[in-house]
């Protein structure tokens, strides 16, 4: 049988080049879009310059210093309030015992009255063996009644006093709770500022840290130059006025001569400075008041305690005591306060220099009083 030819039309060949071209075009478009987005994206923030880091860290240390003073104030208040609460609670306990004693006395009077049966006075008179015996017994009963009334009055008095003391104790406990909350908040604030400052410093390269140290040395040198210039101007002014060099100028070894400070202050100032010099090299630790570490007001408080003068704990309170003095009239032993918020203090030693506990990461040291903006100065005693 002959083979029949197929009547099917031949299948048309399909070109595959067009889809391939379309796919390649889409891929190129995607790459171009991504490249465009990368080019238009916000550039990464530039790394801050060392000067900016220093300024930021200094600002954080200042803020931490202010928070430290708030912490110190809250801590001192908490200790005082705790002592007051303990005293009040002890008084309430004693008062309660006194009330119990008065109640026992009342109980004995009530028992005696019960045993006597509460017989009417007329019946007692009629039943008495003789009238005189009745009157003697009546006087005794009157005195017993007076003692009973006094016992009642004493109970009422003790109850009123106990109620008052309990109210005071409750109020003091509430104040203590608020103070402790402030203490915790201030502590958290200090730690937050210091953590941020340490973070900034930790991101510096070795070269940047060297630059930062150089900036600190330049700042210290400028402050010393300013101190020297101020002291020279003071000496010249004193010579022109015919008064000679004052105790606040020169070497600072004669703090007691001249007007405004007697030998008593000179002796105290010597003790203060001797103590402060002995602390040089010990670390600054916020909230510390010795003996192994200090913050700024902890050092001044401890130093003046050696001279028999009790200073408050914070810079904000220390600046209010003693006599205010001008920078030009400073004498060794005076306290110099810094910044508008009065968050730092040092002990003046003469020649425009002071001894102070500077900041976290630094030790107690001598430094120019012109290294920071001066707020004012006081003479504590």
344 is catalytic: yes
Q: Which helix (H) or strand (E) holds 17?
A: helix 17-40
Give the three-class secondary structure for 307: coil
pLDDT digits (tens, 9 = 90+) for 284-294: 999 999 999 99
Q: Which of 54, 29, 372 is nearest to 210 (CA)?
A: 54
Contact in structure between 169 and 47 (CB atoms under 8 Å):
no
The rounded distance, in Å, linking the Cα atoms of 215 and 209 is 10
pLDDT digits (tens, 9 = 90+) for 221-280: 888 888 788 778 877 877 777 654 444 444 444 444 444 446 799 999 999 999 999 999
pLDDT at 346 over 70: yes
7 is catalytic: no
The rounded distance, in Å, linking the Cα atoms of 147 and 188 is 61
Q: Which residue has the higher pLDDT, 127 or 358?
A: 358
Contact in structure between 82 and 176 (CB atoms under 8 Å):
yes
**Can you give the pTM of this predicted structure?**
0.63
Residue of 75, 356, 359, 379 with catalytic role: 356
pLDDT digits (tens, 9 = 90+) for 55-89: 888 888 888 888 899 899 888 888 888 888 888 78
Residue of 187, 344, 349, 379 with catalytic role: 344
pLDDT digits (tens, 9 = 90+) for 9-63: 555 454 544 444 444 444 444 444 444 444 455 555 667 788 888 888 888 888 8
| pLDDT reported for residue 246 | 45
Contact in structure between 213 and 358 (CB atoms under 8 Å):
no
Helices 296-305, 50-116: inter-axial angle, 10-degree rounding: 60
| pLDDT reported for residue 143 | 60
Helices (H), 241-288: 263-278
pLDDT digits (tens, 9 = 90+) for 185-203: 888 888 888 898 888 888 8
Residue of 74, 266, 276, 296 with catalytic role: 296
């Amino acid at each position: 049988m002959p083979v029949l030819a197929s009547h099917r039309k031949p299948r048309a060949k399909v070109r595959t080049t067009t889809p391939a071209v379309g796919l390649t075009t889409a891929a190129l478009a995607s790459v171009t879009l991504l490249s465009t987005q990368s080019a238009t994206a916000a550039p990464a923030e530039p790394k801050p310059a060392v000067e900016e880091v220093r300024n930021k860290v200094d600002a954080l240390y200042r803020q931490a210093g202010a928070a430290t003073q708030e912490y110190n104030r809250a801590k001192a208040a908490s200790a005082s309030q705790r002592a007051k609460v303990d005293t009040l609670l002890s008084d309430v306990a004693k008062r309660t015992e006194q009330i119990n004693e008065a109640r026992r006395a009342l109980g004995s009077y009530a028992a005696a009255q019960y045993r006597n049966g509460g017989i009417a006075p007329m019946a007692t008179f009629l039943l008495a063996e003789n009238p005189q015996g009745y009157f003697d017994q009546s006087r005794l009963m009157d005195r017993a009644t007076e003692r009973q009334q006094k016992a009642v009055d004493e109970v009422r008095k003790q109850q009123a006093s106990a109620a008052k003391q309990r109210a005071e104790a409750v109020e003091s406990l509430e104040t203590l709770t608020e103070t402790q909350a402030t203490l915790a908040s201030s502590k958290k604030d200090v730690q937050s500022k210091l953590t941020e400052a340490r973070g900034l410093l930790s991101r510096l390269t070795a070269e940047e840290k060297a630059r930062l140290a150089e900036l600190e040395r330049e700042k210290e040198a400028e402050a010393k130059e300013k101190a020297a210039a101020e002291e020279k101007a003071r000496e010249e002014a004193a010579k022109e006025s015919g008064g000679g060099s004052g105790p606040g100028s020169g070497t600072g070894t004669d703090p007691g001569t001249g007007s405004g400070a007697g030998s008593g202050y000179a002796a105290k100032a010597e003790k203060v400075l001797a103590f402060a010099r002995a602390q040089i090299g010990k670390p600054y630790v916020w909230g510390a008041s010795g003996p192994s570490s200090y913050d700024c007001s902890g050092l001044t408080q401890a130093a003046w305690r050696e001279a028999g003068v009790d200073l408050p704990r914070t810079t904000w309170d220390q600046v209010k005591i003693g006599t205010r003095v001008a920078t030009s009239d400073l004498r060794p032993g005076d306290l110099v306060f810094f910044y508008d918020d009065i968050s730092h203090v040092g002990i003046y030693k003469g020649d425009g220099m002071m001894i102070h506990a500077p900041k976290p990461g630094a030790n107690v040291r001598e430094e120019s009083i012109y290294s920071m903006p001066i707020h004012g100065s006081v003479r504590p005693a």
